Amino acid sequence: MKVRHNVRAVLLDEGRLVFLRRGWPGGSPYCTTVGGGVEPYDADLEAALRREVMEEIGATIGAATEFLTLTEPGGKVTVVQHYFRADVLDLDPDRRGGPELDDPDIGDFSPVWVALDASALAALELQPPELAGYLCEQATTWGGA
Mean pLDDT of successive 10-residue stretches along the chain, which has 145 residues = 93 92 79 94 97 94 95 88 96 80 67 89 87 86 62
Closest CA to 52 of 11, 2, 22: 11
Domains annotated for the chain, with CATH where assigned, are 2-143 (3.90.79.10)
Predicted pLDDT at 24: 73
pTM: 0.89
Predicted pLDDT at 145: 43
